[in-house]
Amino acid sequence: MCLRKIMITEKYKACAIIGAGVSGLAAAIRMRNKGYRVTVFEANSFAGGKLSTETKDGYRFDMGPSVFTMPEYVDELFKISGKNPREHFNYTQLDPVYKYFFEDGSSLDAYHGKEKFAEQLAEKTKDRKEDIIKHLDKTEKIYNLTDEVFLKNSLHKLKGFFTWSVVKGILNFGKIGAFGSMDAANKKTFKDSRLIKIFNRYATYNGSSPYLSPATLNVIAHVEIVKGAFYPDGGMFSITASLLKLAKDIGVEFKFSTAVREILIKDNKATGVKTDHEIQLFDVVISNMDVYNSYKKLMPLVKKPAKTLDQPKSSSGIIFYWGIKKEFKNLGLHNILFSANYEEEFNNIFLKKSIYNDPTIYINITSKHTPSDAPAGCENWFCFINVPNNTGQDWNLYITESRINMIQKINKILKTDITPLIESETVFDPRTIESRTSSAFGAIYGNSSNNKFAAFLRHANFSKKIKNLYFCGGSVHPGPSIPLCLLSAKITTDLIK
């Protein structure tokens, strides 16, 4: 096949971005605002990566991330582009944020704000309001100590450490819970096993185990409970749709259904990209593809940083997208049905690389807020369980077994039978996730955080050996989740002159 070679003739420098995930979109917007000519290459026919959408049998589903926090990072992209975010993207604060269901038949609602959250839970658990608030105060201190150090700063450039906030965070490293597990810290604080589970589950936000990951991850509770969780108007995909439109409006070029096959490197410098149809030269290349696959698939001859890339990978998921012919008044937007033995569930995922027969189930129902996402009188259920990443397991068998176990658990807790109510079904497993999003081994969150140094072992936002090559997204610093992916794009593009 003869490849066309395209030379950039514009006076502005040119930037290639590989992948139109949320971090790739944010990087494209930021680079365009820096004056670069930006081209985004996306293997799929759609933008968003994990943050995508599909419609089937009259039901619309957000296919990936479903919890939205720190909306100011989306707003910032509109502001730096000279636009009023409220004219293009809107959202509503959730209260309650979550509904939790337990095997003993009890349920708890998690409300927004320290006072309300603590007051409501103290009424229904064995723990005092003061102790719950004290715990949230501690998570806030961890947030204040780590925000500038880990979330908004490159850990891989010396100059990033010469600010008072970063120095302060490093000097207080012993106070952020890095040396004990999340579970141990929560058991020290709470008497009620249900509250321990509620706080332990925040480890799953980056695909880790609360029994292995550091207590530092309790900081996520502060972000969700105190700073707040939100619902974007029209669902999570509206984040992708609004950023895609913004990028196009300011002049970013998109090439969909165009997979990059190789990052071109000459004299230890990234010089462009190669697709199935052309070679295009660029001054800067930013990969939003999973960093493991960036090396494996796009730079196979480049020596990979093995110590970083071969860190244990995060968990993955099996997701059933169900169209349900009924409305359930006792369910909200975000619902968790807890396993009776939470620790054994994580032992199966991370130690046995298998699936527990009593999994914790997350059910997201956007039709609660966007009725048009399901036919009248029906609901769109996004049913997710944590599973190990793909190491060659029999996923067809696991899907069959998981479907039976999930329906059995839902029926037991909700005191119903959903089997005849399921009129539409789509299933994702680690293989689907990897093929659709290029997440290595189907690990949704990149590397796991199951050790105290995990934050320092994520790949940098730039290549230390190849000039003009950068990385952004959930597989590199600072990590997974929509806010961190948006911050990753900011850190990356701030490194580029």
pLDDT tens per residue, range 368-415 = 999 999 999 999 999 999 999 999 999 999 999 999 999 999 999 999
Which residues are registered as beta bridge partners of 254? 40
Distance CA 91, CA 484 (A): 19
Distances (CA, A) of 321 to 54, 359, 377: 10, 17, 17
Question: For residue 304, what is the DSSP state?
Answer: P
> Which pLDDT score is estimated for 179?
73
> Which pLDDT score is estimated for 394?
98
The CATH number of 4-53+236-307+450-494 is: 3.50.50.60
Could you state, in order of their start, the residue ranges of all structural domains in the chain?
A: 4-53+236-307+450-494, 113-225
pLDDT tens-digit profile of 221-232? 999 999 999 999
> Which pLDDT score is estimated for 7?
43
β-strands 68-69, 229-232: how paired?
Answer: antiparallel
- The phi, psi pair for 405, rounded to 5°, reads -65, -40
What's the farthest any 2 CA atoms get from each other in the chain? 71
Paired tokens of 104: 């003993």
> Which pLDDT score is estimated for 457?
82
Identity at 180, one-letter amino acid code: G
Using 70 as the pLDDT threshold, list the residues of the chain that sit under it. Answer: 1-11, 155-177
Which residues are registered as beta bridge partners of 384? 319, 362
Task: Report which of 224, 171, 173, 180 is spatially closest to residue 198, judged by C-alpha positions.
Answer: 224
Distance CA 37, CA 13 (A): 6
What sign does the dihedral 112-336-348-442 (CA atoms) show? Answer: negative
Paired tokens of 323: 């169209």
Q: Give the number of C-alpha atoms closer than 13 A to the C-alpha of residue 490, restricted to the C-beta side.
A: 16
